Chain A
């Protein structure tokens, strides 16, 4: 058997020094032992240079230092959003505003911001609570559930459909697509998935064009950027982004939070005894459980901390690493509901592209915790089962069996 350790990988681009190449590093094939992806990312960070290169998935850099992650998130003069997924062109369609840089980004973002205004979210609170009550009514008497499929994925899809004024029954068609969207490794699969999501929305968009109704979909369809209506491909891409952005992300966040509570009885008891801690606990979980593993593409050749980056290079920034960095908070791996406010994190991005769905995600998580803990205050991981998580374009919770009495 040849073990070509010293032999250079012929795929390595000429500007990438050998010592910065991590052989075989494939974000879609990482082991996630305790269903705790930030710990996996932390090991990767500790074992490798702060900016390293992999030849897998088309080849890309990975930056793991907290300060670098924050800079790369916001410095769009060097680090563009034009490509921010791995592999490149993962969606195979435009997705404004996320694939645009300032100043062009501004007008597109303004089109979706109103959907997340405080009043718009307050109007959704009833829907969220109603879905939650129904879900908990259904699982509570069973004494167990597979939390990811039975609860975590059901809530955000219903919230999306509610916001958009679309029928709740469509959730069954959309849910499998949501997972493939962030977890498929093959470009062909990720693009087909995206196209299927878009296909679903196409005639809904046409219907709203003809007959506007009182929902976010109609607002976006009839919205204008710089005084002009959006061309069809951009409109479709934007609506698909709104669909795709808030499913696997919210569900995984909830999954990681419940995995933590199920394995940390003292924390669980503390929240049950004092539900007023829930808002602060939600911020602490956002810090400890970053989800998104997006990246940026280099606009021009740029030397960054002594590393020569080249125009067209992709650089991934696993943003969970920001909140669990010693330079950002003390005891970063510890979950502490009494940290000094504001709790710092980069889990929803920073700067112009920071997640517009953040306040919605926060509302969903808070209401879930409040409702669940008041009804099912004691629960554990179901004996004999092991929680399952994956890493891909998101840190994604796949399976979490819970049981209670």
Chain B
């Protein structure tokens, strides 16, 4: 199990344990994290799984695909830390990763 920390816009945090190989979007939806909806089920068609990756972890993630970059344009308040969480696959290296939920997603 890998611990993933979701940081809510009000500063509170929720820690969720996830098996390796799961996507962060599915972990969040399963745990009922407000602001991560995953409407399209991970098909890069909705941008309702937008999150900010703590910069300390950014380099542990594979780069964005062109399709993810395109879909991210449909999210709000996109920054350099933005990712679509359905494209982040949980690996052992991500233990303790912190992901911020955008205020605009609530």
Instruction: Show the binding face of A for B, using Cβ within 8 Å.
Output: 106-107, 109-111, 113-114, 116-120, 122, 279, 341-342, 344, 352, 354, 356, 358-359
Distance between Cα atoms of A119 and B102 in the complex (Å): 13
Chain A CB within 10 Å — which of B45, B50, B106 has the most?
A: B45
Please tell me if B18 contacts chain A, counting CB pairs below 8 Å.
no
With A113-B40, A341-B34, A342-B34 known as contacts, the answer to whether A118 contacts B45 (CB < 8 A) is no
With A106-B41, A109-B41, A113-B39 known as contacts, the answer to whether A359 contacts B73 (CB < 8 A) is no
Q: Are B50 and A118 in contact (CB under 8 A)?
A: yes
Distance between Cα atoms of A359 and B39 in the complex (Å): 10
Q: Are A118 and B43 in contact (CB under 8 A)?
A: no
15 contacts between A and B (CB under 8 A): A110-B40, A110-B43, A111-B45, A113-B39, A113-B43, A114-B45, A114-B74, A118-B74, A118-B76, A118-B105, A119-B73, A122-B76, A279-B106, A344-B32, A359-B48
Distance between Cα atoms of A279 and B41 in the complex (Å): 25
Q: In the complex, which residue of chain A has the Cβ closest to the Cβ of B39?
A: A113
Interface size on B, residues (CB 8 A): 20
Question: Could you tell me which residues of chain B, from 11 to 68, have a CB within 8 Å of some CB in chain A?
Answer: 32-34, 37, 39-41, 43, 45-48, 50
With A279-B106, A342-B32, A359-B37 known as contacts, the answer to whether A119 contacts B43 (CB < 8 A) is no
Q: Are B34 and A113 in contact (CB under 8 A)?
A: no
Contacts of B47 in A (CB 8 A): 117-119
Q: Are A120 and B74 in contact (CB under 8 A)?
A: yes
Chain B contact residues, majority secondary structure? loop
Please tell me if B104 contacts chain A, counting CB pairs below 8 Å.
yes
Contacts of A118 in B (CB 8 A): 47-48, 50, 74-76, 104-105
Contacts of B33 in A (CB 8 A): 342
Q: In the complex, which residue of chain B has the Cβ closest to the Cβ of A283?
A: B34
Q: In the complex, which residue of chain B has the Cβ closest to the Cβ of A109?
A: B40
Distance between Cα atoms of A76 and B105 in the complex (Å): 29
Distance between Cα atoms of A116 and B47 in the complex (Å): 9
**Known pairs A107-B43, A359-B48 / 8 extra A-B pairs, C-beta < 8 Å:** A109-B40, A109-B41, A110-B40, A110-B41, A117-B48, A118-B74, A342-B33, A356-B39
Contacts of A359 in B (CB 8 A): 37, 39, 48
